[in-house]
């Protein structure tokens, strides 16, 4: 959010009328003795702008201070303050070369275009090494010692220097807005610039090539009164001459898209997630791959994650209104429109094998994940089971089964899942049950039942050698086996409307 506000204010500043004039005016107004001093210390033009608190477009043009100083030739040296960041000079890890005074906006724009992202806005994320902050702090103390008594210092420098990070954004945002033909604002499309330096921070002799290590180190920020102790000779503030530019890389990415919906599974040979045991696939396909794969392909993303609210066994069909799911697509090149989402849904539903269908596919925010997790814990599920019993069905069985309302069942962890679940005893509730006869068959029937989520249905039918009690077998006083099972309804609000 912080970053967002900053960018907004930057944009605002840039859009002010008469910006060009005020830029050159404000550069002219800089105190020339101080500017000369800084240039002679090897500070680059953009760093001088930011030290004096200038904002906006002044950074975007190729900066020159010739109007204030004849020493502008020094801008070709590596800046002692930003180590080349604001001069667009850096060591490229990709090409293993030192690149000087690059046209960074153009390089970035070319890369972005090459990756063929669709986007309406972009936002810059900048990470710079702690040594740069530490340089800024040293310089500020120096400036205070050297020019603290002058009125321009008291007026300007106290109102605040612009950080290297913000100055870099000022330098890039305006040209990038032109090159990419869209505005900069906080949105899902990000361009990430990462600068690192082999010196973690000033005075730290430990060399570190990793930005991570730099991050973990505490940066000491000098506080007001410590400055009084600085030597008044003034030149010791830094500037151990910078001899190494920062390492620089950049990439662009999009924050994830989330697709929510419900799926139906018509096959007893399709697992919910890709299921491979000893290099061998279980079942002919998975819901995850069918739905996620199609969505990923359509969005041209890098990868996807599939989350479902609960799961059914591979041999259990998922019918009725379907089971809620969420697909998270990483780094999509395409922005899915509403029409696009409908098209993806149609593509999945028109697949030849008809193993899986989706309903109500739509884009949801990242809150979809919470919605689904809440929904998962909740509520009731309905099933239809094809049951065989060891004796012919009797008339009174119908009444007997449907007379049970909110029946409490104790389930010890089923034998079939004991190898991966800890042994526990859970109480579950069977809300209602009903037998549907199958014409011409006396020992087979359909059992419709509505249970608390998490009930082991197969075990409730056959009793799992007494580990589930009561069971259909114990209630009817005979052996009961389950031949087929379908989920017919999941009562959950999310992704339904
Ligand atoms: Zn600089």
pLDDT digits (tens, 9 = 90+) for 328-387: 999 999 988 889 999 999 999 998 888 999 999 999 887 777 777 776 666 788 999 999
In this predicted model, which residue has the larger pLDDT, 142 or 102? Answer: 102
Residue 123: φ, ψ to 5° = -135, 145
**Position 307 pLDDT exceeds 80:** yes
Please give the distance of CA 175 from its chain centroid, rounded to a whole number. 27
Same domain, yes or no, for 109 and 87?
Answer: yes
Residue 406 domain flag:
yes
Torsion of CA 285, 288, 291, 297, to 10 degrees: -100
Of 222, 254, 286, at which residue does a domain stop? Answer: 254
Q: What is the pairing mode between strands 303-308 and 280-281?
A: unpaired
Catalytic residue list contains 233: no
Centre of ligand 1 from the C-alpha of residue 27, in Å: 16
Contact between 252 and 264 under an 8 Å Cβ cutoff? The reply is no
* Of 29, 33, 313, 489, catalytic: 313
Alpha-helix residue ranges (DSSP H) falling in 87-163: 104-114, 130-147, 151-156
Residue 495 domain flag:
no
Provide the residue range defining the domain that includes 426: 380-490
pTM > 0.75: yes or no: no
Centre of ligand 1 from the C-alpha of residue 79, in Å: 5
What is the Cα–Cα distance from 32 to 23, expressed in whole angstroms? 16
- CB atoms closer than 10 angstroms to residue 377: 11
Lowest mean pLDDT among 23-27, 167-171, 324-328: 23-27
404 DSSP assignment: -
What is the Cα–Cα distance from 458 to 386, expressed in whole angstroms? 10
Same domain, yes or no, for 209 and 74?
Answer: yes
Torsion of CA 225, 226, 229, 232, to 10 degrees: -80
Same domain, yes or no, for 323 and 453?
Answer: no
Same domain, yes or no, for 361 and 272?
Answer: yes
Same domain, yes or no, for 370 and 301?
Answer: yes
Residue 197 domain flag:
yes
Nearest to 482 by CA among 381, 385, 398, 384: 385
Distances (CA, A) of 480 to 410, 414, 452, 456, 471: 18, 16, 21, 15, 9
Same domain, yes or no, for 23 and 125?
Answer: yes
What is the Cα–Cα distance from 9 to 18, expressed in whole angstroms? 17
Same domain, yes or no, for 123 and 168?
Answer: yes
pLDDT digits (tens, 9 = 90+) for 205-244: 443 333 333 333 333 334 433 333 343 344 444 555 567 8
Of 344, 360, 377, at which residue does a domain stop? Answer: 377
Same domain, yes or no, for 385 and 464?
Answer: yes
Same domain, yes or no, for 149 and 18?
Answer: yes
Cα Rg, the chain, nearest whole Å: 34
Contact between 428 and 413 under an 8 Å Cβ cutoff? The reply is no
Residue 497 domain flag:
no
Centre of ligand 1 from the C-alpha of residue 73, in Å: 14
Residue 340: φ, ψ to 5° = -60, -45
Of 228, 254, 280, at which residue does a domain stop? Answer: 254
Centre of ligand 1 from the C-alpha of residue 194, in Å: 16
Give the total number of structural domains in the chain.
3
What is the Cα–Cα distance from 30 to 14, expressed in whole angstroms? 20
């Amino acid at each position: 959010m912080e970053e967002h506000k900053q960018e907004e204010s930057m944009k605002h500043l840039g859009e002010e009328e008469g910006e060009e004039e005020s830029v050159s005016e404000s550069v002219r107004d800089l105190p020339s003795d101080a500017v000369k001093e800084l240039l002679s210390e090897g500070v680059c033009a953009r760093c001088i702008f930011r030290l004096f608190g200038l904002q906006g477009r002044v950074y975007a043009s190729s900066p020159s201070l010739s109007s204030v100083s004849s020493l502008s030739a020094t801008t070709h040296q590596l800046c002692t303050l930003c180590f080349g960041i604001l001069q667009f000079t850096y060591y490229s890890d990709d090409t293993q070369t030192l690149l000087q005074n690059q046209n960074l906006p153009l390089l970035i724009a070319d890369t972005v275009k090459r990756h063929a992202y669709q986007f309406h806005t972009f936002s810059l994320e900048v990470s710079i090494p702690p040594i740069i902050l530490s340089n800024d702090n040293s310089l500020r103390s120096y400036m205070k010692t050297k020019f603290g008594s002058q009125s321009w210092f008291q007026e300007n420098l106290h109102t605040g220097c612009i950080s290297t990070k913000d100055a870099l954004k000022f330098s890039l945002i305006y040209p990038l807005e032109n090159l990419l033909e869209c505005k900069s604002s906080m949105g899902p499309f990000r361009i990430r610039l990462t600068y690192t330096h082999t010196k973690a921070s000033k005075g730290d002799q430990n060399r570190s090539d990793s930005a991570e290590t730099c991050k973990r180190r505490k940066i000491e920020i000098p506080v007001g009164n410590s400055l009084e102790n600085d030597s008044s000779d003034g030149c010791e503030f830094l500037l151990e001459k910078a001899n190494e530019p920062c390492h620089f890389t950049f990439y662009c990415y999009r924050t994830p898209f989330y697709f929510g919906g419900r799926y139906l599974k018509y096959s007893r040979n399709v697992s919910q997630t890709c299921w491979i045991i000893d290099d061998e696939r279980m079942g002919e396909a998975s819901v995850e791959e069918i739905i996620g794969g199609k969505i990923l392909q359509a969005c041209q993303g890098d990868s996807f994650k599939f989350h479902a609210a609960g799961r059914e066994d591979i041999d259990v069909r998922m019918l009725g209104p379907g089971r809620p799911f969420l697909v998270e697509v990483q780094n999509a090149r395409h922005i899915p429109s509403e029409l696009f989402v409908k098209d993806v849904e149609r593509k999945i539903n028109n697949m030849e094998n008809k193993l899986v269908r989706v309903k109500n596919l739509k884009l949801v925010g990242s809150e979809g994940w919470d919605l689904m997790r809440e929904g998962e814990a909740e509520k009731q599920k309905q099933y239809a089971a094809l049951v065989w019993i060891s004796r012919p069905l009797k008339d009174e069985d119908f009444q007997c089964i449907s007379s049970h309302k909110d029946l409490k069942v104790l389930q010890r962890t089923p034998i079939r899942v004991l190898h991966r679940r800890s042994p526990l005893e859970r109480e579950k509730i069977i809300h209602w049950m009903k037998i549907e006869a199958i014409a011409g068959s006396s020992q087979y029937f359909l059992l419709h039942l509505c249970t608390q989520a998490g009930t082991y249905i197969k075990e409730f039918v056959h009793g799992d050698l007494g580990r589930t009690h009561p069971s259909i077998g114990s209630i009817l006083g005979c052996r009961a086996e389950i031949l087929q099972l379908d989920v017919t309804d999941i009562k959950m609000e999310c992704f339904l409307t």
